[in-house]
Chain A
Amino acid sequence: MFGSLVKLEQPADFLRSIAIAFVALVAASAVTGTAFFQKIDLQLHDVQARWLAREVDFSDIIFVDVSEESMNSLEPEIGAWPYSRAVYAKVTEFLRDAGARSITFDIVFAERRPQDEELATTLAATPGVTLAVLAKDFTVNSAADTETLLKRISWNAPANAPALAWQQFILPREMFIWAGRPIAAAGVIAVSLDSDGVLRRIPLLHRVGDRVLPGLSAATVFAGEPRPEIRYNQLTREVIIGKHAWPVDKDGSIQLRFPSNYRSMETSHFSDVFHAAMTMQPAKDLAEKINGRRVFVGSTAESINDYQNTLFGRKAGLHLLGEVNQLLEQGEVLAPPVLRWDMLLLALALLVPVASFRERENRNPLHYAIGFVLLPLLIGGLSSTLYLYKQSTALGFPLLAGYLAFVFFLVRRLWRLYNERQRLFYEKLAAEESYKLKSQFISHMTHELRTPLAAIIGFNRLLGESEYGERGQSQYTKVIEKNSDHLMTLINNMLDQGKIEAGQMKISKAPALIREVVDDVIATMSNMAAEKQLGLKALFDETVPNTLEFDSFRLRQVLLNLLSNAIKFTQRGHVHLTISWANSGLCIQVSDSGPGMTADVLDRIFIPFRQGADNTQHAYGGTGLGLAISRNLCELMGGSLTVHSEVGKGSDFKVRIPAPACAESNLPLSQPTLKATDKRLQGCVLLADDNDDIRDLVIRLLKKHGVTVLPVIDGRQAVETALQEMPDVVLMDIEMPVMDGLSATKLLRKSGFTRPIFAMTAYPEGPEVERALKEGFDGYLEKPVNRDKLYGILAAFLKPMPQPAAVIRSTFPGSM
């Protein structure tokens, strides 16, 4: 049942469980020596024995009891105890004549008494009499012929037969048991008690030197028969006498299955029997009672007999004698524990906790409770079944080992729970901290988002409501644009951070011109630096190759971020970019002459949503994400972003990324190098620009390629013309009157215009371009217009055409 459950476990866990079970076993072994354990163990066995006690047929035996009542009744006639041996002779004669199957005296006839001869004569004429022998742990002065007598009456037993050893037997007088032939058998009246003083076992054989006598109750079993041979089967540990085979323990004791109905044993008063023997009273009933039964003559009087504690209370020695005799006759004995059954019980006891505490499952505590209850039921059940089959077993030890295993498993489980709780506690703290940071961040972000939005909404309303001149319009739109740009940066940063956290940020390396990237970045930031009158320049090491393989878009993003930070925090002096290259690694250092940072601040600046100082955001704006994103990007590119800073001495940020050198021929085709003026293309291009010089120029360039051009001067016209004429490509200036390029593109996309739209801008590096790309533009063309780049864009969307025809379909009135 449990075997199949255990198989579900992981091998390592199963082995660990076995180890715990083994430790429990060792611990249990250590405990078994203690008096406490032994007491508990005995009591467990007693509970089992009482619970399983059966009824035994006692109709074979009868006691003739020299009770207090008998003694009182007989005192006037024959005097006080001890009685003359003639009394026993009379009683023996009566019992014999009444048909007793055997007569056993629980009285030691060792000393010389009056009328011994009369008793000896009666015994010689009475078969089946067994007399009591005392056994002593010490030697008392004894008759010289004792040894000879013992030799005559002792039973033949092999030397290895287990027997309780004594110093001396006190035998009955020789005349009662030997007259040239055995006239009565002898059995030892001695018990062995367990450590708690309770009688559970009876010694079968007793030994003094090499002479063996059986116990009195065992001797009675063979009363009237010739003295049988004793054999011992070492394998089954059975003492075999005649047709009986009794299993014994190593002391030679027999464990008995005491019955529950011992009170049903028949008793007659000694006085009644004596009176009947003396024919003072009619004795027919008594004689009938005695006929065919084994008779035990002795006393239950407190003053004479000994009493023993048993599982079923205090019992007189006389009663025990008869009871034990009957149990031996009927084979109501238990085999001593054997290894195989004890091992089975132990294995079962350990398996229950192992199965209850199976790992890899979130076990309900109810499982432990079930195991806890199941353990004694299983052990008790099996042990009791064996008990019914006359096999005694260990009981306390398997239960102890099983429960110790339970305790060990429970301790381990509690220990794991404790660790788990600690972990959860710290995780909760971390989650709370993270939640706090996010909350702070959201409140900052809300503020950051609201500020530019408020400006956008406000100025947009002014545009709609007030009478404004060209100057006002320009001013308002600039404010709106600036704030929109800021919003876009915020949102882009958020998106980038989100992508990085989700592991979706992709790095795409390609050969690119490093100087071009750096120049672009410098050009983009130059205005910002110029506004603060800061020196901004890039210093290239001579060893830096022209073409390197790296992700130019992401590097540009990192550098723009570092430069904008450097410029933002530097009030006077310079911001320098130093570019070096070694071992296929590119190092770009951004140094400024700003205020520098303390170590405390340096610890925080790369943590998302944290800025150098709490008031930084209010003073300088920003999301607190820029440096975190930059570092993440550098690491994604396979490099690093480090910082060195000292208060008052400025800061140095170092970007290191792997960037192997490559040939310029590897540069992607998106940077056309061939002069393309002679290439002719077929198609129609819508050109929207309010500046007539630019319009003229682009028309001319397009015309050279044979392209049909639809020139318009603002966004509204662009939308109308595009939807009407469906040009193949749209070139759209961003800043135009009436409707700007962003709005026009948005409107076109909304109206279902899917053809490519390219922005024309003089700010190719600014946020305007990113915004444009998000609004639906497919790309951008930098102003001043480079004819090769223009051709590169057109060639991607227009088919080549040989004839040099260019038609200008003017849709705008006159010149601007």
Chain B
Amino acid sequence: MTKVIVEVDSDLADLVPKFLANRQKDLLQIGEAIDRADNSALLIIGHNMKGVGGGYGFGEITELGKRIEAAAKRGDQVELRQQLTQYKEYLANLEIRYV
């Protein structure tokens, strides 16, 4: 996988580690929720991701959040797993540049 380079406002540099740690929690929660087929939990996670990602400069997280929210609404397990994988890959390949 190639690196995903994200430019983040240097004012937020000290917040980013906590932010990313919370995103790792997202991964766990999403995985568990998919296993439980708990779509309402997935809806909330997706909604949160949507609301929070772009603010820090991680537009892709907002997009992933939108897709997860939509898939959860439909109860599309296949799509959810696909998005989870993409989310995992995205987070794993992140390279942050503070500007």
Measured CB to CB, the residues of A under 8 A from B are 470-471, 474-475, 478, 526-527, 530-531, 691-694, 696-698, 700, 704, 735, 760, 762, 783-786, 815
Could you tell me if B55 and A531 are in contact, using CB atoms closer than 8 angstroms? no
Contacts of B44 in A (CB 8 A): 474
Considering only CB atoms, which chain A residue lies closest to B46 in the complex? Answer: A762
Considering only CB atoms, which chain A residue lies closest to B14 in the complex? Answer: A700
Q: Which of A692, A696, A760 has the most CB of B within 10 A?
A: A696
Contacts of A478 in B (CB 8 A): 40, 43
Could you tell me if B55 and A697 are in contact, using CB atoms closer than 8 angstroms? yes
Chosen A-B contacts, 22 in total, with CB atoms closer than 8 Å, are A474-B40, A526-B70, A527-B69, A527-B73, A530-B70, A530-B74, A531-B73, A531-B74, A691-B48, A691-B52, A693-B19, A693-B52, A696-B15, A700-B11, A700-B15, A762-B50, A762-B51, A783-B50, A783-B52, A784-B50, A784-B51, A815-B18
B41 within 8 A of A: yes
Could you tell me if A762 and B47 are in contact, using CB atoms closer than 8 angstroms? yes
Given contacts A474-B44, A530-B70, contact A692 B12 (CB under 8 A): no
Given contacts A471-B40, A474-B40, A475-B40, contact A700 B12 (CB under 8 A): yes
B53 within 8 A of A: yes
Considering only CB atoms, which chain A residue lies closest to B15 in the complex? Answer: A696
Considering only CB atoms, which chain B residue lies closest to A761 in the complex? Answer: B51
Measured CB to CB, the residues of B under 8 A from A are 11-12, 15, 18-19, 22, 38, 40-41, 43-44, 47-48, 50-56, 59, 62, 69-70, 73-74
Contacts of A475 in B (CB 8 A): 40
Considering only CB atoms, which chain A residue lies closest to B65 in the complex? Answer: A762
Given contacts A475-B40, A530-B70, A784-B52, contact A692 B22 (CB under 8 A): yes
Considering only CB atoms, which chain B residue lies closest to A532 in the complex? Answer: B74
Which of A526, A531, A692, A784 is in CB contact (< 8 Å) with B62? A784
The prevalent SS among residues of A at the interface is: helix
Contacts of A696 in B (CB 8 A): 15, 18-19
Give chain A nearest CB distance to B32 CB in angstroms.
12
Contacts of B69 in A (CB 8 A): 527
Which of B40, B43, B54, B74 is in CB contact (< 8 Å) with A784? B54
Could you tell me if A783 and B51 are in contact, using CB atoms closer than 8 angstroms? yes
Which of A694, A704, A786, A815 is in CB contact (< 8 Å) with B51? A694
Contacts of A698 in B (CB 8 A): 55
Give chain B nearest CB distance to A525 CB in angstroms.
12
Give chain B nearest CB distance to A157 CB in angstroms.
126
Considering only CB atoms, which chain A residue lies closest to B54 in the complex? Answer: A784
Give chain A nearest CB distance to B89 CB in angstroms.
21
Could you tell me if A697 and B52 are in contact, using CB atoms closer than 8 angstroms? yes
Could you tell me if A785 and B55 are in contact, using CB atoms closer than 8 angstroms? yes
List 7 A-B pairs, minimum CB-CB distance, nearest first. A784-B54, A783-B51, A784-B55, A762-B51, A474-B40, A785-B55, A693-B52
Which of A470, A704, A815 is in CB contact (< 8 Å) with B11? A704
Contacts of B53 in A (CB 8 A): 784
